[in-house]
Amino acid sequence: MSQLELLATATFGLESLVADELRKLGYGDTRVENGKVAFAGDELAICRTNLWLRTAARVRVKVGEFTATTFDELFEKTKALPWARFLPKNCEFPVEGRSVQSTLFSVSDCQAIVKKAVVESLKREYKLEWFPEDGPLMKIEVALLKDVVTLSIDTSGAGLHQRGYRALATGAPLKETLAAALVMLARYYPDIAFIDPFCGSGTIPIEAALMAHNMAPGRKRNFASEKWPWISPAFWNQAREEVEDRLKPEKPDYLIGTDIDEGALKIARHNAEAAGVTDSIHFQRLEVKDLTTSKKYGKVVTNPPYGERFGEEDEVKQLYRELAQVRKSLDTWSFYVLTSYPHLEKVFGGKATKRRKLYNGNIETQYYQYFGPRPPRRQS
């Protein structure tokens, strides 16, 4: 197995969680940057990280990095990289790109130049003049940030938020990677009572259930790099066997998702069944103002409506008032609320214990964390 430079990309604000996940998987030599975490690994690491990372967007193989301020520089330095090490002569290699605060700001021109440079490099190595591109998909990304060019190949295919269980969704669903991050930041464990009172299509409770069962989020999907000739099927078999060996059959103690919309709950139940956790979550139609529980301690983790659309402001204000009343009645519980609603602390009657800026798609949000008292230690 060969050592590779790998990148786990992430939505802004989730990089430290991705780094923690990588360390727990045994990849401790990490470097956290904006939007990505760099780490070293081999072919097996590609398989394992794609299967196990809950908060990362993609896993990429880094081919090279350099500074370029002219198209000639971009072409020559791209051409000099060892592309034949990664790209077989028949692979399909489209180029996508992005440019931030760089002299070379035309993304389409950068993509075309990188494509041409890669072709010239492969011509030199393979002694060919034409490439059919009818083989495995190996999508190249050219990313420019302040004139630094990073060239990488996507190993994931569909984004890692696509777990394979959510065929159905409500109007503005939370990405699975962000939902997993909310659960992680709430420090959820399967013996802790957990409620999402605005569960919608069930993404937050489902991600909590997957964690409770130690079920790899990529267990039910495939990845682009499974078809790459230089990653042996034996590595994928080994990684998938690990996934099955580490499953925990015990159900979480108390995991509930409620919503006022019966249609959304129907979707949530369908998604939970597809994820293999249907027996671990209780979904119930309930208005937030009617939420109660006999459990003394627990965590409410939720993503309520934001009131982004015109005419919803009064309705959303009322929802947050009702959630604040629930918090008063469950005064020993911890509350974790992701929202762009700017007055949550005022409605809740005090500043959050912690706040964290996160992006839900293109919407800047705050993750408000109100810690309840620590539960007493259980007697052994």
pLDDT higher than threshold 70 for residue 172:
no
Query: Do the beta carbons of residue 159 and residue 124 sit within 8 Å?
Result: no
Torsion from C-alpha of 207, 208, 209, 214, nearest 10 degrees:
90
Cα separation, 316 vs 304, in Å, equals 9
> Which of 78-92, 157-171, 246-260, 282-296 has the weakest average pLDDT?
157-171
Share of the chain above pLDDT 90, in %: 91
- Quick one: pLDDT at residue 310? 46
- Quick one: pLDDT at residue 289? 95
Cα separation, 111 vs 84, in Å, equals 19
- Could you give all domains of the chain from N- to C-terminal order, each with its CATH number? 4-154 (3.30.2130.30), 176-213+249-370 (3.40.50.150)
Query: Do the beta carbons of residue 304 and residue 320 sit within 8 Å?
Result: yes
Cα separation, 27 vs 4, in Å, equals 12
- Tell me the CB-side half-sphere exposure of residue 311, using CA atoms within 13 A: 0
Whole-prediction pTM value? 0.95
Strand partners, 32: 37
Q: Look up residue 158 and give its two tokens.
A: 């569909």
Residue-wise pLDDT for 191-205, tens only, equals 999 999 999 999 999
Q: How many residues does the chain have?
A: 380
Strand partners, 255: 194
Strand partners, 363: 360
- Quick one: pLDDT at residue 375? 86
CB atoms within 10 A of CB 34: 9
Cα separation, 39 vs 45, in Å, equals 10
- Quick one: pLDDT at residue 350? 94
List of E strands, the chain = 4-9, 30-33, 36-41, 58-67, 95-100, 140-145, 148-154, 194-196, 255-259, 282-285, 299-302, 334-339, 354-360, 363-370
List of E strands, 236-373 = 255-259, 282-285, 299-302, 334-339, 354-360, 363-370
- Quick one: pLDDT at residue 168? 67
* Nearest Cα residue to 136 out of 206, 89, 192: 89
Residue-wise pLDDT for 306-342, tens only, equals 876 545 778 888 999 999 999 999 999 999 999 999 9
